[in-house]
Amino acid sequence: MIVAIDGPAGAGKSTVARRLAERLGFRYLDTGAMYRALTWLALQRGLPTGDGPPLGELALANPVTFDREGRVWIAGVDVTASIRQTRIDQQVPVVARHPAVREVMRDRQRQLGAEGDVVIEGRDIGTVVAPDAEVKVYLNADSSIRARRRQAERPGIGGDALATDLRLRDQSDAARMRPAADAEQIDTTTLEVDDVVARIERLVRERQPA
Ligand code: DC
């Protein structure tokens, strides 16, 4: 079974998807981490982030992998911590917007998703990567709450800078942030993580064969 969890930055996707996967005994696939890893490699190699086709080739030649501990690897390097830097936050939407990049990434995501029960988190999972996913959820929250959650993850950065970053990222990601028509939309603004997880778990149990 595939559980697709989409939504904007700071909506709570990662925390919810991780905890849900743990509770269900499903694998967890973070597709944002894949775009982040590619962005890290492009910067490392000095490739311009505005030019799509070479980035698509870079992605094809360097498939992102996740090890058993959930660490993220690209080109033989463990980039788990490096991909959470601000410079990656800022550049990743630029890299992720190229069709050549998305094509390679989506193929890889389908390949990784095909290996059994999995919770996949991203922006376009329910719409494009896994339109046949048995459960589709779209998480959202007020922008001030999303900025506050991001702040907790990036304590070194000022609140205003983060809010601006988030707004720019939302604009850039907007084209891919459409909820699937058949997605369950959950506003997490006032909800606890465990409540969101429990709600999705119920959907999963309803659709799981007895
Ligand atoms: O969820 P995140 O912040 O780690 O995502 C990083 C970036 O990758 C974000 O700008 C949107 C993009 N992304 C995407 O375009 N498609 C996905 N399936 C996942 C992430």
- Cα–Cα separations (whole angstroms), residue 186 to 35, 45, 155: 25, 40, 27
Best mutation site among 31, 82, 153 for ligand 1 pocket (most ligand atoms within 8 Å of CB): 31
Amino acid at 65: T
Dist CA 48 CA 52 (whole Å) = 9
pLDDT digits (tens, 9 = 90+) for 66-101: 999 999 999 999 999 999 999 999 999 999 999 999
CB 93 within 8 Å of CB 169: yes
- Relative to the CA of 176, which ligand 1 atom is closest? 15
pTM of this structure: 0.93
Sign of CA dihedral 88, 94, 97, 100: negative
Cα 176 to ligand 1 centroid, rounded to whole Å? 9
The mean of the pLDDT values for the chain is 93
DSSP, collapsed to helix, strand or coil, labels residue 77 as strand
Q: For residues 27 and 116, which has the higher predicted lDDT (pLDDT)?
A: 27
Domains of the chain from N-terminus onward: 1-26+117-203 (3.40.50.300), 34-115 (3.40.50.300)
